Structure 1
């Protein structure tokens, strides 16, 4: 018998196992962050008492993200993914969410389309080892953030993504304060970048900014993380960002399709130089 129940901290082992099986990059810290941001947002599928699937939701006012849609490969094709998605959407509807978003892999796209999601944008996932940075002339534009910058970064994120992700940005900055880099004067941020470790590579992003700040922040990340394996999710609409990461020798390994259900969110992909990851865009 299939049962969809709320996710608890006791399900971390299941989450880790399914991530490893799928070859995804998330760590236990990513699951814990999700539970802290939205304690009632996760669901587990159990078949005859055995955990076989997960899905998470995170609400940002009228906009929500669905992520971590994972089904044990031994149990696929039995409607488990659909049952998880239906439960997630029921929860979001009950909480007044109007726009639901997710980043789909090719495997999940048919299911999401059958539930009313439509394609909105394409992101390419780039992976590789960062080469040493070329020596810079002049004063670098990117710098370490100071206490005045976080609120400004959150305001910029809201402007670019059309979503109030302040809780997410604060959580990432609290967990990895040294990764928060900004461009611009204190309190007047033209761009910002965060990164975090992953199972197989460092996730660089979110990186948001204008046409000067974005490239400078990416170049700064290349210098800081030279020699590390990295992942960047770059919108296809931002050709300069894609050209920059390709010039480092990184290669696009797969496509992520950003999909939405309900009123379209006004997002500006030309100012997104790297997404925060498929969990929350």
Structure 2
């Protein structure tokens, strides 16, 4: 694909799935094979090979007006050589060529790399981790999404997120239909997906936080086991619910955009993101 900072970065196809999955597993990340397939099928996966091994990856998901950068991973043995930064530069350049503002969710360590490259802070987030007992009690007014709900969920997600991502939303519904819940009275929904080690909840979208709390409570009532959820800072109702259920803050993220500090979409209706890798 390109020689960036002296590295021969190539575009990977789905035959590289096992190698990519091995990288995210080595890093302790929660992505399952189906998560990687989203990038192979709807975006671009970059890689650096040394011999037969994939030693680094990165990915983009182009949307309308902006695009997501994620899955920037390097094996432990290959770290410290600037490979991840080279892949990030390639991803940023490719999105700019498509007319998309590059956006990402940065860890504190990543933030120090991204700021000098022109990424500006947009919004802080927190990763919460806990275990849900799965009580099975779902409040009135909340139901499992049916086929007739799919179009409005996709439209509502697009308004909150800032761009249509119909294939992604449809794949989340199909992967965990029992966890695709709707609250039509509040234009609200919650989606979730099984990961390698925990269920990831998100996005959670609703007109108001009380409705978002009810939707999240319903999802937790169904899930029995480890859970991850990424919440914009300042969602006090969501935070109180998670604290009540024994969840703890694991790490901060900072949403950043290249050359832009304004958020996309309608962040006041977004109470949990799909994940730092998906936006």
CA displacement 1:211-244 (0-9 Å, x = unmatched):
242111111111111x311011111132211111
Q: Which residue of 1 aligns with 2:89?
A: 86
Question: Residue 16 and residue 132 in structure 1: after superposition, are their counterparts in 2 closer, same or farther (change >3 A)?
Answer: closer
Task: Indicate if the aligned counterparts of 2:137 and 2:218 stay in contact, CA closer than 8 A.
Answer: no
How many residue pairs match? The answer is 272
Q: Which residue of 1 aligns with 2:173?
A: 173
Q: Which residue of 1 aligns with 2:102?
A: 100
Return 210-219 or 261-270, whichever deviates more.
Answer: 261-270
Measure how far apart 1:2 and its partner are.
2.9
**Is the partner of 1:266 in helix, strand or coil?**
coil
Return 230-239 or 207-216, whichever deviates more.
Answer: 207-216
Structure 2 unpaired stretches of 5+: 1-5
Measure how far apart 1:48 and its partner are.
5.8
Task: Indicate if the aligned counterparts of 1:3 and 1:47 stay in contact, CA closer than 8 A.
Answer: no
Q: Which residue of 2 aligns with 1:128?
A: 130
Measure how far apart 1:132 and its partner are.
5.0
**Is the partner of 1:265 in helix, strand or coil?**
coil
Structure 1 unpaired stretches of 5+: none
**Is the partner of 2:167 in helix, strand or coil?**
helix
* 1:27 equivalent among 26, 32, 54: 32
Q: Which residue of 2 aligns with 1:8?
A: 13
Rounded Cα–Cα distance in structure 2 between residues aligned with 1:147 and 1:13: 32
Measure how far apart 1:163 and its partner are.
2.0
Rounded Cα–Cα distance in structure 1 between residues aligned with 2:240 and 2:257: 27
Rounded Cα–Cα distance in structure 2 between residues aligned with 1:239 and 1:269: 15
What do you get for the CA RMSD once the two structures are aligned?
2.0
Q: Which residue of 2 aligns with 1:113?
A: 115
Task: Indicate if the aligned counterparts of 1:25 and 1:198 stay in contact, CA closer than 8 A.
Answer: yes
**Is the partner of 2:147 in helix, strand or coil?**
coil
Rounded Cα–Cα distance in structure 2 between residues aligned with 1:28 and 1:110: 29
Task: Indicate if the aligned counterparts of 2:120 and 2:259 stay in contact, CA closer than 8 A.
Answer: no
**Is the partner of 1:278 in helix, strand or coil?**
coil
Measure how far apart 1:127 and its partner are.
0.8
* 1:59 equivalent among 58, 62, 77: 62
Q: Which residue of 2 aligns with 1:251?
A: 248
Task: Indicate if the aligned counterparts of 2:19 and 2:53 stay in contact, CA closer than 8 A.
Answer: no
Task: Trace 1:192-271 onto structure 2 (pairs within 5 A).
Answer: 192-211=189-208, 212-225=210-223, 227-263=224-260, 264-271=262-269
Rounded Cα–Cα distance in structure 1 between residues aligned with 2:216 and 2:50: 45
Q: Which residue of 2 aligns with 1:77?
A: 80
Rounded Cα–Cα distance in structure 1 between residues aligned with 2:137 and 2:170: 32
Task: Indicate if the aligned counterparts of 1:238 and 1:269 stay in contact, CA closer than 8 A.
Answer: no
Measure how far apart 1:133 and its partner are.
4.0
Task: Indicate if the aligned counterparts of 1:144 and 1:181 stay in contact, CA closer than 8 A.
Answer: yes
Rounded Cα–Cα distance in structure 2 between residues aligned with 1:4 and 1:256: 27
